[in-house]
Amino acid sequence: MIIGSKVFFFENLTSTNTYLSDMMLNNDLPEGTIVRTNYQTAGRGQKGNKWDSQDGMNLLISILLYPTMINPVDQFLISMALSLGICDFLKTYTHDYSIKWPNDIYISNDKIAGILIENSIMGDKITSTIAGIGLNINQRTFQSSVPNPVSLNMITGRDFDLLVCFNKLISELDKRYKQLLSENYSQTKEDYISKLYLKDKWHSYRDKNGVFRGCIRSVSDHGNLQIENSKGRIVDYGFKDISFMS
């Protein structure tokens, strides 16, 4: 097992990503080291957002990886593999999961998990990756500022043992990471694309020119979202260039 080779648990922390990145400065940590906590006082999300999670209710983890086999231009593969690992975990409980590009995990139209990936790159190598995952397990009420949250409890109507969920999650993440190590990139890409939220469905999006109707067709090798517009043209979008309308 690579992911989970070493696990550090703390009752509370500022942020598992921040803690792990500080820890790396003074320690030689093996690949797969995980920092887990029950509560973050400064949990971080994408685009500078906060990640809120009630004490002891959800999984809050950061994983250290050394994906030196992946060229920085292909770094989106890491996102794909981790998103798929979370989906594989969810499979036991529901079939209604999907990946909202780039790496939000959805159940129907609600978000159950988010991933914050922080890569360190030197030349043509990714020297380390800190992958933070917040996965909602037992929480039932969320702050009103969180757009559309959902948890495993809300979809199944029951409570879960966090440690059991943690062990199952890291085992699924490990399988997907090993798929990357075996350089079976085409399988990872195919699985990721097949699970995209709103794939092949017409929906409203906003780009620099305004709101338009479009249909997600795929994701490029470099992780850009490919949307067909009403004229039948497929346009590639980077993370900051497109938003989904609700």
Interacting span for ligand BTN (CB under 6 A) from 39-47, 91-99, 145-153, 159-167: 39-47
Mark the segment that binds ligand BTN (CB under 6 A) among 25-33, 63-71, 111-119, 227-235: 111-119
**Which CB atom, from 172 or from 215, has the smaller least distance to ligand BTN?**
172
Provide the 3-class DSSP secondary structure of residue 154. helix
Q: Is 5 helix (H, G, I), strand (E, B) or coil?
A: coil
Of the candidates 4, 32, 67, 134, which one interacts with ligand BTN according to CB under 6 A?
Answer: 134
Rule CB under 6 A: is residue 45 a binding residue for ligand BTN?
yes
By rule CB under 6 A, what string of x and - marks binding of each residue 56-95 to ligand BTN?
Answer: ----xxx---------------------------------
Residue 201 CB partners (closer than 8 Å, separation 6+): 215, 216
Query: Which of the stretches 54-62, 155-163, 211-219, 224-232 binds ligand BTN when contact is defined by CB under 6 A?
Result: 54-62
Residues binding ligand BTN: number (CB under 6 A)? 20
Q: How many CA atoms lie within 13 A of 21 on its CB side?
A: 16
- Only one of the segments 40-48, 65-73, 199-207, 234-242 lies at the binding site for ligand BTN (rule: CB under 6 A); that segment is 40-48
CB-nearer residue toward ligand BTN: 132 or 214: 132
Tokens describing residue 137: 């397990």
H-assigned helices in the chain: 16-26, 76-90, 152-156, 162-181, 185-194
Binders of ligand BTN in range 154-183 (CB under 6 A) = none
Amino acid at 113: A
Contacts of 225 (CB under 8 A, 6+ apart): 101, 102, 216, 219, 236, 237, 242
For the bound state, the minimum distance from the C-beta of residue 100 to ligand BTN, rounded and expressed in Å, comes to 10
Asked whether position 12 contacts ligand BTN by CB under 6 A, the answer is no
Interaction of residue 151 with ligand BTN, rule CB under 6 A: no
Q: Which stretch binds ligand BTN (CB under 6 A): 11-19, 74-82, 172-180, 183-191?
A: 11-19
SS3 190: helix
Q: Minimal distance in Å, beta carbon 4 to ligand BTN?
A: 15
Q: Which is nearer to ligand BTN, 116 or 173 (CB)?
A: 116
Close Cβ partners of 179 (under 8 Å, ≥ 6 residues apart): 81, 187, 188
Q: Are 114 and 103 in contact (CB under 8 A)?
A: yes
Tell me how far apart the alpha carbons of residues 234 and 244 are, in angstroms, rounded to a whole number. 16
Handedness of CA 134, 136, 140, 142 (dihedral sign): positive
Binding site for ligand BTN (CB under 6 A): 15-17, 40, 43-46, 49, 51, 60-62, 104, 114-116, 132-134
